[in-house]
């Protein structure tokens, strides 16, 4: 490979796996990291400075729930001191007005607030908690500060019909951006897929509503739609390509190329406690494994889109085919596309029978 390696753009910092919510599509791995092994304030601070040296521009604080860290204000301050743009990707709990003020003062640039639905009863069922109204309060507090605000609605079969009501919340509060992110099928999302996957009719309606909303809200709120990729023609360029744009650090310091990478077998991911971030980015087996095109199989290897979507998602390829180097099976050109079509066909056949009640969810647990 002669192509020069670029710097990563973003560092996703999973500060903790603890979370007050139990969402049925949580992207965290099923095996969560315990509080006892979490990186300390000082270790995170060193990581932020190393990331900045490496050329990283943005730190995305997530979890679990980043606000569950009692040192969250210090962490925001130290990431900002390392010259990073700091985003908090949060459920908005636990938080009060005073603490929000201190986060902003410490240098927080952007608050992304998640919602599980437009109606309290739906949202509370999905999160397994009674938290929807508290989130709406946080949304009001955010207006008092000059920081970027994104609302994030994770959408799926059980709440996609509330789209118009979600848009009413958006129009009332006018955040800079709203994301309608379809559930991705990893971790808990995969465990609950049968109940979460939207039908084709639901998706078509959703696309129509969001296309209109995008026009209507232009110049006020940017509307971002993350499609459910089982229905896509081509795969998503997952995290902008393996080891190209992003590094994720789990609460205990393990460095991953994406949220789900730990599901891929026979890979040894290194830890910031043992090695520098630069060393891991530039020269670790795990980050090099799927960089470039050497690893690709056909049809990716000779495909015109290999520099567009980089073969899709390695985790999804492994989860659905057992082969981590296979073409992402959501791709219409993939040899294994039949397995995805079968899932969609079964959904259409059983959609009237599969329970739409609240029984049978696999809720996210909390770490020890």
Partner 1 sequence: MKPELSAVPRLAPGVRLNEKSQKERILLMPERALKLLGPSLEIVVRCDGKHTVEQIAEALQKLYSKAEPQRITDDLLDYLARLHDQRAIDF
Q: Which residues bind partner 1 (CB under 8 A)?
A: 9-10, 57-58, 83, 85, 87, 109-110, 112, 145-150, 176-177, 218-219, 221-222
Shorter beta-carbon distance to partner 1: residue 241 or 367:
241
Cα–Cα dist 231/201, whole Å: 11
Shorter beta-carbon distance to partner 1: residue 95 or 319:
95
Shorter beta-carbon distance to partner 1: residue 85 or 141:
85
**Least gap, CB of 266 to partner 1 (angstroms):** 32
Cα–Cα dist 43/66, whole Å: 16
Spell out where the chain has E strands: 10-14, 58-62, 85-90, 110-115, 148-155, 177-182, 222-226, 246-249, 255-256
Provide the token pair at 265. 């077998």
CB 173 within 8 A of CB 115: no
Place of tokens 């959904």: 347
Shorter beta-carbon distance to partner 1: residue 15 or 149:
149
**Least gap, CB of 134 to partner 1 (angstroms):** 23
Shorter beta-carbon distance to partner 1: residue 79 or 303:
79
**Least gap, CB of 222 to partner 1 (angstroms):** 5
**Least gap, CB of 245 to partner 1 (angstroms):** 11
- Count how many Cα atoms sit within 13 Å of the Cα of residue 8 in the half-sphere of its side chain: 33
DSSP category for residue 26: -
Shorter beta-carbon distance to partner 1: residue 112 or 124:
112
Cα–Cα dist 253/296, whole Å: 29
Provide the token pair at 85. 């743009």
**Least gap, CB of 190 to partner 1 (angstroms):** 25
**Least gap, CB of 31 to partner 1 (angstroms):** 28
CB 232 within 8 A of CB 203: no
Question: CA dist 279 to 155, 181, 255, 275, 282, Å?
Answer: 38, 33, 11, 7, 5
325 φ, ψ (degrees, to nearest 5): -100, 5
Shorter beta-carbon distance to partner 1: residue 28 or 58:
58
338 φ, ψ (degrees, to nearest 5): -55, -35
**Least gap, CB of 119 to partner 1 (angstroms):** 27
């Amino acid at each position: 490979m002669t192509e020069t390696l670029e710097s990563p753009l973003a560092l996703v910092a999973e500060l903790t796996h603890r979370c007050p919510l139990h969402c049925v599509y949580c992207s965290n791995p099923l095996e969560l990291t315990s509080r006892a092994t979490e990186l300390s304030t000082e270790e995170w601070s060193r990581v932020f400075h190393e990331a900045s040296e490496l050329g990283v521009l943005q730190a995305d604080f997530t979890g679990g729930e980043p606000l569950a860290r009692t040192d969250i204000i210090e962490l925001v301050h130290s990431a900002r001191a390392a010259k990073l743009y700091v985003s908090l990707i949060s459920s908005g709990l636990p938080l009060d007005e005073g603490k929000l003020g201190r986060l902003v003062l410490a240098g927080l640039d952007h608050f992304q607030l998640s919602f599980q639905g437009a109606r309290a009863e739906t949202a509370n069922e999905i999160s397994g908690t009674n938290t929807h109204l508290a989130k709406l309060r946080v949304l009001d507090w955010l207006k008092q500060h000059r920081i970027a605000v994104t609302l994030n609605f994770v959408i799926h079969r059980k709440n996609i019909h509330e789209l118009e009501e979600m848009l009413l919340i958006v129009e009332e509060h006018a955040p800079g951006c709203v994301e309608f992110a379809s559930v991705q099928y990893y971790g808990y999302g995969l465990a609950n897929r049968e109940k979460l996957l939207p039908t084709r009719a639901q998706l078509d309606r959703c696309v129509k509503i969001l296309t209109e909303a995008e026009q209507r809200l232009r110049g006020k709120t940017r509307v971002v739609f993350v499609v459910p990729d089982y229905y896509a023609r081509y795969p998503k360029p997952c995290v902008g390509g393996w080891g190209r744009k992003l590094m994720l650090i789990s609460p205990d310091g393990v460095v991953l190329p994406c949220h789900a990478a730990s599901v891929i077998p026979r890979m040894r991911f290194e830890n910031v406690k043992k090695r520098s971030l630069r060393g891991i980015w530039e020269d670790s087996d795990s980050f090099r494994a799927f960089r470039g095109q050497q690893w690709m199989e056909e049809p990716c290897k000779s495909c015109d889109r290999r520099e567009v979507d980089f073969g899709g998602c390695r985790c999804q390829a492994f989860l659905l085919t057992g082969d981590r180097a296979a073409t992402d099976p959501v791709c219409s050109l993939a040899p294994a596309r039949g397995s995805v079509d079968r899932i969609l066909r079964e959904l259409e056949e059983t959609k009237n029978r599969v329970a739409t009640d609240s029984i049978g969810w696999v809720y996210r647990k909390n770490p020890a």
